[in-house]
Structure 1
Amino acid sequence: MFQNQIEYIPEGIFANLRFLTTLNLNNNRLAKLPKDICNLRSIEILSLDNNQLRFLPIEICALGRLKVLKISKNRLERLPLEFGFLSQLEELHVPLNKLRELPESIGKCYKLKVLDVAANDLRIFPTETEELPLVELHCEENPLLSHLPVHSIQEEEILSLKELTARYIMTQLKDRFSPLRAQLRHYPELKQMLAQSSTCAVCSEPFLNTWLECVHFIKPRKLKLKNSSVGHSQEIPIRALLCSYKCFNQKNHEYYGVAFP
């Protein structure tokens, strides 16, 4: 269906296409996709290059067999937060868009080998980028953060009672004999909230929703790429989350606070 003048796809079109494996909608005028795109249960290759998409519906993250997703030359400003549910994804091509960041959940795409995000507005890569099995990375023409260290000391902040309690509970849950483990089963909402926690890059302790966003820089060779547009001397900025200024102020770590000019 490529190279037409398709402006929209009505709901219901994908309802019975459960065995379709490849769909090419390149070079049309699509501004959005229907929510029932999740019915394409067998889709492995989806190509949407050169359209007018500003966002993707969350339902696209239900395509559990999707291996290749191409959305270059659109108007995307973001990807769904649930992007990590695309567990079979091997290639993601989103150059020439307006992406300001990649969702943190992309670190759950454990089979992702090709990532092309050239010519966007990215400043930093998600936390678990180093864990991806990437063999090809393209990120040229992005305003990536530069490595220009400036000495900084931050005063310790006062955590909220909610944050202190959550940290205490998560620390106790590390003990398999803790009575809190059994009690937590009776509080599904609390269990779901704690599941959204993060881990400090310095002390490795869990925290809930009070953090300091930092960055560390890695050389392309650390990712063991076979094909990349990234120069050997260029540094790739990777997001890191710290649980407190106490950890930030410690010496001998390579995490930097982000300063804006």
Structure 2
Amino acid sequence: MASELCKTISVARLEKHKNLFLNYRNLDHFPLELLKGEGLQFLERLYMKRNSLTTLPENLAQKLPNLVELYLHSNNIVVVPEEVGDLKELQTLDISTNRLLALPERLHLCLSLQYLTVDRNRLWCVPRHLCQLPSLNELSMAGNRLAFLPLDLGRSRELQYVYVDNNTPLKGLPSYLYNKVVGCNGCGAPVQVSEGKLLSFSSGPLTVFLPAEVKAIGTEKDHILPLQELAMRRLHHIYHSFLKDLNFLSPVSLPRSLLELLHCPLGHCHRCSEPMFTIVYPKLFPLRETPMAGLHQGRTTVSFVAYCCSTQCLQAFDLLS
């Protein structure tokens, strides 16, 4: 088997193949033959699905600098080295069904990356730098352990498709995904709000009561909205209600950028019309089945996605209400 593998790689090097298929080879380590000498400088697509790889070489980008597509589906990879960020031509990376606990921070340096698939790993967070990928069009992170996503995710106009299905701890989505194509079936654990006193803060004649969800601060059973989101929603409500007339918050008392945000929230709750600035709660309602929807990872149902501002609205909202 080893001699056959070496022969396959040698032929690819001699004939300057752009595509190399090493699927189902029972590989438990990355073939050293690929890294000999100058490597395969001309190789553009490398397929290594259904093997037993546990690591990737740190000099992968140096030896295979022109990789456009890299498929590592169904291996046992635990860590992706930071030098994957040196693959400047990489457009597609599929590393789904492995054992990743985290993605490399330098992945955002793969400026040509358009399609990233990391389904069915053990990811519990997403590097915020990932939001900086200028060409990323499709991001699939289904079947992980994500509890939250970077609030900037979706800010880029290029990113249009995001799939986070079956991340049970994940309840809220960044508001920048509001008008994107989002898959989030199987997300969100049952909500249990703990008992506690309703918090408030005061400043002179002004007293602001925080939403009931803030009761659950400190518990492990519920996801709490970012303080930025809580503050923005309260400020928006105050600015557009009675305090605006009393000039407690005049336009000159707020930074220009903050004032613009208050006028233009990224969305409104389908249940209560509360403005949303950084995070939303999605609720899916399957509408009908269509063969076209099944072209992506076996999906066969077209859903209407309702976006809510809180877990309370999420539970209460229904299409008939």
Q: Calculate the TM-score normalised by the size of structure 2.
A: 0.50
Aligned twin of 2:58: 11
**Unpaired segments of 5 or more residues in structure 1?**
147-151, 159-169, 175-196, 206-211, 238-254
Cα RMSD, aligned residues only: 4.0
| Counterpart residue type for residue 141 of structure 1 | G
Q: 2:80 aligns with which of 26, 30, 33?
A: 33
| Counterpart residue type for residue 306 of structure 2 | E
8 Å contact 2:50–2:74 — kept in the other structure?
Answer: yes
8 Å contact 1:138–1:230 — kept in the other structure?
Answer: no
Structure number with greater Rg is 2
Calculate percent identity across the aligned residue pairs. Answer: 21
Q: How far does the alpha carbon of each residue in 1:35-71 deviate from its partner, in whole angstroms, 9 at most, with x for none?
A: 1111110001100011000110111111111111111
Q: 1:48 aligns with which of 79, 88, 95?
A: 95
Q: How far does the alpha carbon of each residue in 1:7-41 deviate from its partner, in whole angstroms, 9 at most, with x for none?
A: 11132222243311000011111111001111110
Q: 2:178 aligns with which of 130, 133, 139?
A: 130
Q: How far does the alpha carbon of each residue in 1:159-191 deviate from its partner, in whole angstroms, 9 at most, with x for none?
A: xxxxxxxxxxx96864xxxxxxxxxxxxxxxxx
Larger RCO: Structure 1 or Structure 2 (Cα < 8 Å, ≥ 6 residues apart)? 1
Size of the aligned set, in residue pairs, is 195
Greater helix fraction, Structure 1 or Structure 2: 2
Shift of 1:230: 6.4
Shift of 1:77: 0.6
Query: Where does 1:179-218 land on structure 2 (aligned, <5 Å)?
Result: 202=262
Aligned twin of 1:81: 128
Q: Calculate the TM-score normalised by the size of structure 1.
A: 0.61
| Counterpart residue type for residue 236 of structure 1 | Y
Residues 1:57 and 1:156: Cα distance change in structure 2 (over 3 Å): same
Once residues 189 and 86 of structure 2 are traced to their aligned partners in structure 1, the CA distance between those partners, rounded to angstroms, is: 37
Give 3-state SS (helix, strand or coil) of 1:82's partner. Answer: helix
Aligned twin of 2:185: 140
Q: 1:100 aligns with which of 144, 147, 159?
A: 147
Q: 1:109 aligns with which of 156, 169, 173?
A: 156
Aligned twin of 1:71: 118
Shift of 1:213: 8.7
Query: Where does 1:222-237 land on structure 2 (aligned, <5 Å)?
Result: 229=301, 231-232=303-304, 235-237=306-308
**Unpaired segments of 5 or more residues in structure 2?**
1-47, 192-196, 204-251, 266-275, 286-291, 294-298, 314-321
